[in-house]
Chains A and B, each alone.
Chain A
Amino acid sequence: MATEARAARFTDEAPARAPWWERNLAWLLVAPTVIMFVLFAFIPSLTAIRYAFSRVRLTRAGITQEFIRFENFERAFDDPIVREAVGITLRWVGVVTLAEVGLGLLLALLMTQNIRWRALFTSLLIIPIIMPPVSVAIAWFFMYEINFGVFNYLLGEVGVSPVRWLSDVDYALYAMMAVDVWQATPFTFLLLYAGLLALPRDPYEAAAIDGATPWQIFRTVTLPLLAPILLVVTLLRVIDAARIFDKIWIMTQGGPGTSAYTMTLNIYIQGFRNLDFGYSSALSFLFQIVLIVIATVYVKRVMADYAAPRD
């Protein structure tokens, strides 16, 4: 058939009489991407690994490296700040991911109900997603302000004495988590909302005929159907939450003290405050090994959809 002949022609090799560039067009199309990858990911990664095993000094003339085997790594395992940073990062990732996925799911379930002005509400709800983190951080910074911030004012109205939101070791990390939850919950909401809207209708009709309660429907129909998307959203949040830097850096620079030193913050400080590039690289190497596991699971999930046959 004619259409089949055409279809074959497109994916097949270009005819031999075609110019060389057309016969190799596929390679040429992906070449710039491969070059970017080599320049900005592959080579820097190799350098980072070399630095991780070296004592690196930044001088006016350039950079000096001295191979020191595993010294940087030994130091990392003995470093109390690293141990602290691991704990803080884990706590950060755990709390914000749970809160963001949980609240996002609640919000998504709410907005799929029979709600008036739904389109308007949804548009407003997703504003935080695209806001510059720096604007978010400074807006909250002044809401948390001890003397003239709006939170302490509201607390004062109900007779609670002012809280040092960002300068009290007991509160600062959680106060900043709230900021992250504020900005990322709309993100989980939007993805889960889109997921809910795309669910098949039939199981719901069947459940309704069986006289299931809303809670039963949620547990036996919605949750299992939504599970793949929930997993993807959760993994994505874990990966992004683990690298938190901007908000914490802007609001407290990791303080008070070292109480909000996350992994990324600590690596940054070792590298660009203490100019200890070797140690910083060793830390980021270890950090990357942990993240590569989660990232691979996530990418495999997303790619399964890509590899699935279409049409």
Chain B
Amino acid sequence: MVGETSVGRILKHAAAVAAVLLVLLPVYWMVNMSFKGRSEFTARPPTLVVEEPTTANYRDLLVEQRFDRYGRNSLVVALIAASLAVTIGTLAAYGLSRFRLPKNINYHLLFTMLTVRMFPPIVTIVPLFVYYRELGLLDTRLGLGLVHAFTELPLVIWMMIGFFRDIPRDMEEAALVDGDNRLQVLRKIAIPLAAPGLAATFILVFISSWNEFLLALVLTESNAQTLPIAVAGQITQYQVKYGNIMAAGVLTTLPVLVLALLAQRHLTRGLAVGGVTG
């Protein structure tokens, strides 16, 4: 900017740093608390930097409480959801971006799916619970994975339509002229060219499923319980295992943080149809 004073520059940077610190404070606090032993955790005043760091919380959480089984549940559910949603959604996105169905179905289908994304899951949760109970899908990882796949389908379709649109059509049409059929064109040209977008979409769906709370709360109990529900369950049990809760919070966050780093470039496009956390 022209004529900017150095005071202005310093103020701007101070504001930016303050915002970053505000964002990082709760994250730091969670990590800090997770390494505190039982007495230090409830110390007054609280120690701002852990004084006697211990991994006891993590050990206790993983060995005594066997928290890894919830982690495995979350992993399997998220993988089912991401694989299914990405497969089904990519096919639909390709169909919608390359073909024109009669009666403006393209528009109506996309409209309907985006509207679905905007509906709160609470609306259909009672019927789903009843069906799942009868079908034996209640408290199974497959059952939850299927619902998550559906709720994330709009995100996949929306993102993949964008990526497919970015691919120049000439290449696909040239392949058609060369005698490939339309499915071969999708497999050999469109999918490889959209691969980075596909990976980012997979990651975003994975994160959404990993973070999801309400559906997991209703549709799982002991067998298929996911991490968020298990962690939340700890808070109401008034034992003194506070440290474990914080360690669980850290362990639940770590995988999504790593994954988000990989997909960061495409985050904005995905967010246009809603938060990754729902």
Contact = CB atoms under 8 A, between A and B. Distances in A.
A210 B100 CA distance: 49
Contacts, number: 325
A63 B129 CA distance: 11
A116 B177 CA distance: 52
A22 B250 contact: no
A20 to B, nearest CB: 12
Say what secondary structure dominates the interface of chain B.
helix
B167 interface: no
B182 A25 contact: yes
A51 B125 CA distance: 12
A41 B111 CA distance: 14
Given A33-B92, A303-B107, A183 B277 contact: yes
Contact of B119 (A131, A190, A288): A288
A48 B123 contact: yes
Contacts of A76: none
A133 B44 CA distance: 27
Contacts of B44: 147-148, 153
A148 B42 CA distance: 5
Contacts of B98: 10-11, 26
B174 A6 contact: yes
Contacts of B94: 29
A264 interface: yes
Contacts of A253: 236
A37 B1 contact: no
A137 B126 CA distance: 25
Interface string B49-67: 0000000000000000000
A127 B27 contact: yes
**Category for how many chain A residues contact B:** 35 or more
Given A6-B176, A115-B13, A135-B231, A130 B276 contact: yes
A64 to B, nearest CB: 11
B249 A139 contact: yes
B181 interface: yes
A232 B246 CA distance: 35
Given A41-B150, A191-B272, A242 B127 contact: no
B268 A63 contact: no
Contacts of A292: 115, 119
Contacts of A43: 127
A68 interface: no
Interface stretch (A78-86, A90-98, A168-176, A277-285): A277-285
Given A141-B235, A245-B214, A295 B111 contact: no
5 contacts: A3-B170, A30-B96, A32-B87, A40-B151, A291-B118
Given A43-B127, A277-B130, 19 more contacts: A3-B173, A6-B170, A9-B177, A10-B173, A25-B182, A37-B113, A48-B127, A63-B130, A127-B24, A129-B267, A139-B249, A142-B245, A153-B45, A182-B23, A250-B232, A253-B236, A284-B120, A303-B114, A310-B165
